Amino acid sequence: MAAEMSTGAPAMVLVEGAPASVALILREVRARFDKRIVGRSTYTFTDIAGMRAAVAQAAAAPEPVLFTATATAQTADGTPASTFEVTWSFKRRG
C-alpha cells in the first residue's frame, strides 16, 4: 500500500540510523477516502521531525513508542483525495 510505504520508508531509514538497535512494527492503518482516484496519485508524508523524535525516544528507553504518521493522497492534478493514519511502534532491542 502506498500510504504505508510513504511512512514506512522514512521510518526504516531513521531506525537504521538510530544510536541503538530499534525494532519497527506496523500497528494500525486508518483511512478516510474523500475522492476517487483514477490514474496516477501521489502519497506524501511530511512529519519527519516528529518521527525522528519518536525513534530517538525509543532508542533511549526500554518502553515502545507509538507514532502515528499521516499520509495524504493526491490525484495527478494535486487534488487531495484521501488521508491515511499509519501507526508505527518503535522499540529498542535488547
Per-residue cell: 75 = 490525484
Q: What is the pTM of this model?
A: 0.92
Residue range(s) defining the domain that contains residue 16: 2-92
- pLDDT of 1 over the 80 cut: no
pLDDT per residue as tens digits for the range 6-50: 999 999 999 999 999 999 999 999 999 999 999 999 999 999 999
Total domain count, the chain: 1
CATH of the domain at 23: 3.10.129.10
Q: Residue 75 pairs with which residues in a beta bridge?
A: 41
Per-residue cell: 20 = 541503538
